[in-house]
Chain A
């Protein structure tokens, strides 16, 4: 009976917390947390389930994440199986009907963009493939734009009293974003058509956006570490395909990238990959500022 009293007490205590809070957003990745903050301002309280130095495939369904999902009004995830190793557990344990897939409180960013790299066959022998396509959509500002528009509509639907605020902030964000995108495209003009190498196949949206050719990858297949024979093949490809530099994400191990780039005599360029992937990449704008600046600098060197 003591337990029942404790239950009842905690339950009654819990109700007022919900009523006064701003729109409580649980973002699976920091880029969507940053976007939700930009669109919602002080009308939202945003929690990022992962930080910029974590591999979003490899997150443990920690109790703290379950606790955050319990109170969330809106879950913003990438989707396309990126969070398949942990998010289903959190959703089933959270006891929160508002954020179950199919509910208005469950938003997948990939619903707003068309995915590239969808495999024509599904076989685990091909490595860590995603059936729906490559989920790392945040590396192109055009995708961010599309997600911003869709996410804003969802926020307006969920929190109609603040819909005007969201609409206004979104319009403002998109204006600034379009201006910044033109600036980045202008800065990145010399990168068009150059050949580069990637550590992991998670840059398809960036390379497509800037017109760069992904001529080699350090992994023979996604998630499969390279053997010596494969690496010597990559080293031979660098002069043959006139590869200019190698890019890798901040959350990835720098050692293989540094080693291969050092052997091949090309720069290894760490890119933030998402918000928080670099100490200066505090929001989406600075994320692309840094990304473009590093690419242009690597190209000029």
Chain B
């Protein structure tokens, strides 16, 4: 299947000088991306449409849809969900599974998409309903939560092979790699735990009790803290990485909030949380652990995915019940645009096309 451009749209990507864009795994990619980015780079927003079995591509400058990348000819049966970005921003990784969470089926895989061409570069098996993924800071490994197996898995990107699998709780979901690459955190929805995997020593370090039904996890830019959303608990658990990965705070967003993805802004001061239950984005001051803003007006319904540009100028959310992406201006803390995408928008990422390509 081929990438399908939108013919009536402004297909030629606008020049986006100075627009640095990021991802939910921002902490891991910030420095590498900053090192790599140049004036003249162009950016594209990628949205995983869970029920459409495809990826919507949006021009990050105009916020217009410019095409669709088919993932499977079986929408409703094959589900693209989690996404991650290579450190230089040129490759988007997407975890694929099916709607029958059995142990392993042929759809269970990770695909790599070339941001320059929107073509699939590579795909490799990732057994057991891979739900979310994260890249190592050097871009050589991808880590996945294997939901049906209650395992985390590490894959070597060069060879497409799995090099480790480790036990986590039931219904593994969120995964993140610390900015220094030392730790992989994997959440488990049904066990209320976040598992800490020690990459260097190749062993599980501990399982941390967090909030009820933990979903996603993100590290602060300096890697000292990790933030875990708990959907049923309506909380964000704050883990101090340097204090033996200890839970140090719980931020209450309300039972209706049903938080899922979170992303740390480029200043390292705020974390944006997608509140699926209230169709809101919560902005938390990381210094005080207080909610300093709640963005609701004009938001699409049930945002689960959230990401932010590296210059901090725009926040994008993937809204699963309204099949849309909301674009937020952090200056006014308001929605400035809603973009129709495919059915069941699950996650959102931003890729980079280097200048001159």
A and B from one complex: no
Q: Give the interface of B toward A (CB within 8 A).
A: none
